[in-house]
Amino acid sequence: MDFGLVAVVVGFLLILIGIWGILTQKNIVKIVIGFSIFDTGLHAIMVGIGYLKGRTAPILDSAVSPADALTSIVDPVPQALVLTAIVIGLGVTALMLAYVVRLYDYRKSLDISSYEDLKW
């Protein structure tokens, strides 16, 4: 079984689920949750892309000597990228929640259709 492919497929499914949430949920907190799911999907895909069958983590310790690294570790780059992506996603989520808090302060509503002041 190729875990890489599984991660990618699951990732895409999570993205679709996340988008479903973003587009259909009226509650803005749920929309933010949709985003988190969307982000998780992204991260799964990234990790899946870097996976190589039968290999181990890219840490050179007693299990993997620097000499064998080329043949025994998975791709470290997507892991590095996903770390960055997670942090960025976290920042975005936090900021969105901050928006939610302030929006709620103004209108005491979490329905996204209460915030359509600017249009056309």
Contact residue for another protein among 27, 30, 33, 75 (CB under 8 A): 75
Residue 61 tokens, joined: 């310790």
Our finding on whether 88 is near another protein (CB under 8 A) is yes
Contact residue for another protein among 1, 20, 27, 30 (CB under 8 A): 20
CB of 56 to another protein, least distance (A): 11
Contact residue for another protein among 27, 30, 33, 58 (CB under 8 A): 58
Residue 20 tokens, joined: 């479903």
Our finding on whether 69 is near another protein (CB under 8 A) is yes
List the beta bridge partners of residue 111: 27
Cα separation, 71 vs 34, in Å, equals: 38
Residue (of 76, 15, 81) closest to 51 by Cα position: 76
CB of 47 to another protein, least distance (A): 10
Cα separation, 14 vs 35, in Å, equals: 10
Contact residue for another protein among 1, 27, 94, 110 (CB under 8 A): 94
List the beta bridge partners of residue 45: none
CB of 89 to another protein, least distance (A): 9
